[in-house]
Chains A and B, each alone.
Chain A
Amino acid sequence: MLKVDELTKNYGDLVAVDQISFEAGKGTVFGLLGPNGAGKSTAINCISGLLRPTSGHASVAGHDVVSDGKAARQNLGVVPQELALYEDLPAIENLRYWGKAYGLRGAELDSRVSEVLDTIGLVDRAKDLPKEFSGGMKRRLNFGCGIVHKPPVILLDEPTVGVDPQSRARLFDMVEAARDAGACVLYTTHYMEEAERLCDSLAIIDNGKLIAKGTVNELRAKLSARDVLQLNGTFPLDETRQAVDTLIERDDLDLEVITQEEECVTLTLSRASQHLPDIFAVISNAGGVVTETILRSPNLETLFLLLTGKELRE
């Protein structure tokens, strides 16, 4: 339903999206994960036709977004990160307008607008102006405007940024409802918990490159059930490196170094809590001083840390 093949977008010398490829099928939610500035929105803009790719292809429901753009856009519903609403037009008129923009007319339009109002929970506020709405209500209406024409492919660009927990839960329900109705959803976020809850499969993107992809379980398996141990303090570089090397040689730890800096050392290892006394002793003998210890259980966030050496929300 959605296919991205070697998609690249350059701005001069800056490579915003670098040869990313993925596919998503009908009735699935595909997550595109990455920190701010990773290239997620640029990728979405290329797929939606807002930007012309420098190279590569993207197709929506079999229609190339460049050579057959009109048909591709007809099959696409976009929920942009920033609100895109007529705040001086009643909610129902917003939905009607965007429905007409996609060619809906008459009874079909009326029926679809009613359905969407019900889905986004704004039936009682249909005739009110969005400028009188809360942030969460505006987000829901923003979502509704993107799906009013019942598109087979939906692009959601960080839809929960700045949304209260109640509205966020409602948005999750709406995404799941769209998926259950057969839509293919591309969902970008930098919240791992959202991806873990919603996405059937996902890709992790950083600096414009796709660094991992697969189902949530496949990606978790890459961690081999190892914990991530982050030590903050002061660590003499050479002495600490030698000390960590001795730890790596121990088979029982299954240890790898993610980062090693003067103020922070990040390791991944099996059953980290059991081995903490040994690790502290080795570090201490090397002249290191630990002031803070952070132990994470394996999840997508730790996978991102393992793959990129940095926090997802940096």
Chain B
Amino acid sequence: MNFALTSFRKDLSRWRQDLMQTAIWFAIPLTVGGLITMLMSGDGAQPHGVLLIADQDESFLSVLIAGAYSAGDIGELISVEKTTVEEGTERVNAGEASGLLIIPAGFGDAFLDAEPVTLTLKTNPAQTILPGIITDVTEIVLDAGFYAHQLFGEEINTIQSLVDESNDAAVAAIAVAIQNKIEVVAPQLFPPVINVEIVGPPATDVQVSLALLYLPGIIMMAVMFSSNGLASDFWVERDHGTLRRLVYSPGQLGSFVIGKALAAAVVIAIIGGLTLVLGFLYHGVSWAKFPSSLVWVALSGVALFSWFAALQMLFSNQNTASVISSMLLFPLLMAGGSFFPLAVLPGWIAAIGRLSPNGFVVDKLTSEITEVGAWIIDVNSWLIVAAAAASGLSICAWRLRSGFAQA
């Protein structure tokens, strides 16, 4: 075990000389993650448009229609401005507004008399969403007007005639008449009351945004890059002749492999830890989850390191080993949730992804970060990763003994 610690210190000293390489392993996923987070998070701003209304009627009803665009949630999307037909047409053509609604003179009278009347809506062809919303709202308002006229045509006529008079008794009588009609048609207009209980996902102590779902995959990307890069150190040592010299020494190959794995764990923990810190800070994840996440990342990193090393040591030269492991790296990143979170992948792809080594790790890390509490990764998962690390390192030691070091 003494020699394992000696090897551990030796490799840390050596790798410290190459900080640029470590920085690259850290920077690539960080850049990708930063870009994704910027795309996914934003500031939450909604689209907002301007509807110009050229009200040539100036009647009670035309004012009601104009007001319909300012009511409720629609009002948050659309600002209504009064204008003339000429100015409004110019502004829509100039792209300054999403639409122009022209209410012609005589609209109110024609509506009350149930005569045909035309409302003109000009929309901005350069926009798609907001003009569509305005068109839909306009159709709803007109439909509502039609039904209101069918039900309350007399009352509306009366109100229209009383606009300039002050007759409280008459208004009260109209209100009673409207109430009576509503009571008659209410069973048809309003469905029975249904109590709906909304059952959501289990409560979380963090806000799970899409950007947060990217975090485990991005961390694993950093771990994959660093573990693959560190695994190639066996080849570096072989090329430098130090593995051969090690074989000359009295039987310490196992300790040598353990020392290298421990050094790899430290480097991976630093890179993974920095990525975790940035992610936790940005997404406001509870720091109680940090130790468990870090240990999980480091242990998984050692497992990946050991298997990348074992794979690379199977080949006859470093170039082939490097090409093959890189060819494997990117599909694994793709399937394992580093480019797209497993949660947003189609079910069958996500299922395959979770079976990949890194996908398995990402899946568990996602649970650790997004669910309530810390240290929630189950014991079996820890054992699986530990067994993977141990078996990978055993293969590395076997390869050293079986000719890799001697070549």
Cβ B242 vs Cβ A100 within 8 A:
no
Cβ B250 vs Cβ A74 within 8 A:
yes
Cβ B250 vs Cβ A93 within 8 A:
no
- Give chain A's interface residue range (CB within 8 Å of chain B): 20 to 34
The one of A45, A84, A89 that contacts B10, using a Cβ cutoff of 8 Å: A89
Interface-facing stretch out of B13-21, B105-113, B128-136, B141-149: B13-21
The one of A71, A73, A88, A89 that contacts B249, using a Cβ cutoff of 8 Å: A73
Cβ B14 vs Cβ A88 within 8 A:
yes
A162 to chain B, nearest CB (A): 14
Q: Which residue of A lies closest to B239 (CB)?
A: A82
CA distance A93 to B394 in the complex (A): 27
The one of B241, B244, B249 that contacts A98, using a Cβ cutoff of 8 Å: B249
CA distance A48 to B246 in the complex (A): 11
The residues in B between 230 and 271 inclusive whose CB is less than 8 angstroms from any CB of A are 240-242, 244-252
Q: How many residues of B contact A (CB 8 A)?
A: 21
Cβ B406 vs Cβ A87 within 8 A:
no
Query: Does residue B3 face the partner (Cβ distance < 8 Å to A)?
Result: yes
Q: Which residue of B lies closest to A78 (CB)?
A: B248
A132 to chain B, nearest CB (A): 12
| Chain B binding surface, main DSSP class | helix
Cβ B17 vs Cβ A100 within 8 A:
no
A133 to chain B, nearest CB (A): 14
CA distance A105 to B406 in the complex (A): 27
Cβ B406 vs Cβ A73 within 8 A:
no
User: What are the residues of chain B within 8 A of A281 when measuring CB–CB?
Assistant: none
Cβ B252 vs Cβ A101 within 8 A:
yes
Cβ A102 vs Cβ B249 within 8 A:
yes
Cβ B247 vs Cβ A50 within 8 A:
yes
The one of B13, B17, B240, B252 that contacts A84, using a Cβ cutoff of 8 Å: B240
Query: Does residue B179 face the partner (Cβ distance < 8 Å to A)?
Result: no
CA distance A49 to B2 in the complex (A): 23
The one of A51, A78, A100 that contacts B6, using a Cβ cutoff of 8 Å: A100
User: What are the residues of chain B within 8 A of A100 when measuring CB–CB?
Assistant: 2-3, 6
A138 to chain B, nearest CB (A): 11
B260 to chain A, nearest CB (A): 13
Cβ A84 vs Cβ B244 within 8 A:
yes
What are 30 A-B interface contacts by the 8 Å CB criterion?
Answer: A50-B244, A51-B406, A73-B248, A73-B249, A73-B250, A73-B251, A74-B250, A76-B248, A80-B244, A80-B245, A82-B244, A83-B241, A84-B240, A84-B241, A84-B242, A84-B244, A85-B242, A86-B242, A87-B240, A88-B14, A88-B17, A88-B18, A93-B13, A100-B2, A100-B3, A100-B6, A102-B249, A105-B2, A129-B17, A145-B245
The 10 closest A-B pairs by CB, nearest first: A84-B241, A84-B245, A101-B249, A78-B248, A88-B17, A100-B6, A73-B250, A74-B250, A70-B250, A88-B14
* Residues in B lying within 8 Å of A, measured CB to CB: 2-3, 6, 10, 13-14, 17-18, 240-242, 244-252, 406
